[in-house]
Amino acid sequence: MSEFNSQPGANQTQGQQPYTPNYSDPQGQTYQSYSNPQAQGYQTYSSPQGSYYAPYAAGVPDQAQQRGPVSFNEAQVKGMRRTSFWGGLLTGVVAVMLVVGVYFMIQSFSRANSSANIAYDQLGPDATLSPEEQQQVLAKMDTLIRYISAYYVEEVDVDDLLDGAYHGMVDALDDKYASYMNAEEYADYNMDSSGDYVGIGVTVQISQGDVKGLEVINVSQEGAAYEAGIQVGDIIIGADDFFFEDEMLLNEMVSHVRGVEGSIVDITYVRGGQTYTVSMERRKLHETNVYYTVMDGNVGYLALTGFTANAQSQFDAALKDLQSQGITSLVLDLRDNGGGLVSVCVDIADHIIGKGTVTYLEMRDGYQEKYSATSDDELNIPIVVLVNGNSASASELLTLCLMDYGKVTVVGTQTYGKGIAQSTYGLKDGTAIKFTVAKYYSPEGTNIHGEGITPDVIVELPEDVTFASIKTNGIPDVTKDTQLQEALRILKEGR
């Protein structure tokens, strides 16, 4: 994760109630859950592949392990897929490096829960190599390193070679949301997760298309990039006079965009085949996720820009304030909301649907995990949800849930279509891996991955208008916002 990110990380889920009870799988193995949301522990369960940590428990992770909660956030779901310079040297032996990468990564893969450590040799027989296989691949790797060190035209660092192997192994998953993070990258990931950072206000990943650089996957409304018109899908190819090279790692590119608070950086980016350069100020940012006001006398307008760790409290405070002002209907604006934490999504749904299933996740073996709202607070007023092509992941999940309960009318344009979840696993040596672990479904079993949500009422913004350009302090100009106009019309007419 780069310093641009303002999304929550491994240690940001404070005070969340776990949503998973004790249960058993079809093989009769008991799944364990903890009852204290502040405990430094995680769920574990057993499967034919062995015992491991369930990737969805909300709570405070062990600080030594920094194990992150499931994120549906398109921003947090960065992909961070990197191309290693040294990895390119080893193209011919990538299969060997992947196997060796498995060995080294699993060897350091020990995560602590409240009562026990799940050690490397407890991950299960299918997750490791036999002693003979270990000897073979390590001997082969040693041979490769010796040849490269002896004859390659430049001096090499063995750590760089191994780092390239680890990155290459995760890249081989063909999962755009997967990443291996070395210690420096993972430190950045966790630093950015605090919500306080210095940057231009975008979340990025390595672009995978013909244009190489940093693909923007989320834009913070608090940052200079947002004001400068940077959009999701833009590819940053340079900062000031430095232009990125194909073989650079993510953190190398990011280092050229980082800088001192208040300094100016010229960002060069590509959009639609055209190249642009814009100057912007690096700022210290703390993400604000909720903006709200009262419109037309009694219509509450509440924009939720992300499901970060602090979004729940901001949403709660905003909704209470709106209700105290006597609102009789609500516009819930999820446009340009790239997603966030599933626990936050569930807590926000809790205030709208009351008790009931919010979503369930399904792993590759068919095991399903349900997330439910448990509150008695149901919001029984007409609601319109606004969405667009940048409404992704958790924002889609919340929209699907509210649709299944018949709580909302959806207005806008087709959503992004991300119906899969990732989990981040901190490793013993300070590195981490993140990859897709499940698909998520609406209460009635709908998965929208690759398709998105089709609104009940499709409304485009005018061609010369972007959503970002018509907002002041997070509130859109209703005279220019045709989608908001339609939402207000629906609520006024009681449709």
Q: Is residue 43 a contact partner of residue 34, using CB atoms and an 8 Å limit?
A: yes
- 254: tokens are 């990011």
Please tell me which residue in 418, 423, 434, 471 is annotated as part of the active site.
418
Which has the closest alpha carbon to 375: 343, 349, 403, 338?
349
* Beta bridge partner(s), residue 433: 180, 425
- 361: tokens are 């996740």
Please tell me which residue in 33, 179, 393, 442 is annotated as part of the active site.
393
Please tell me which residue in 220, 404, 423, 471 is annotated as part of the active site.
404
Q: Is residue 440 a contact partner of residue 56, using CB atoms and an 8 Å limit?
A: no
Hey, what amino acid is at 310? N
Q: Is residue 333 flagged as an active site residue?
A: no
Which has the closest alpha carbon to 345: 372, 384, 379?
372
Q: How many helices (H) and strands (E) does the chain have?
A: 11, 27
For 475, other C-beta atoms within 10 Å of its C-beta total 17
- 468: tokens are 């970002």
Question: How, if at all, do strands 471-472 and 299-304 pair?
Answer: unpaired
Q: Is residue 58 a contact partner of residue 343, using CB atoms and an 8 Å limit?
A: yes
226 dihedral zone (left: phi>0; alpha: psi -120 to 50; beta): alpha
Q: Is residue 372 flagged as an active site residue?
A: no
Q: Is residue 336 flagged as an active site residue?
A: no
Distance CA 332, CA 187 (A): 35
CA distances from residue 212 to 54, 207, 227, 420 in whole angstroms, order as listed: 35, 6, 24, 25
Distance CA 470, CA 335 (A): 13
The HSE-up count of residue 375 (CA atoms within 13 Å, CB side) is 15
What residues act catalytically?
393, 404, 418
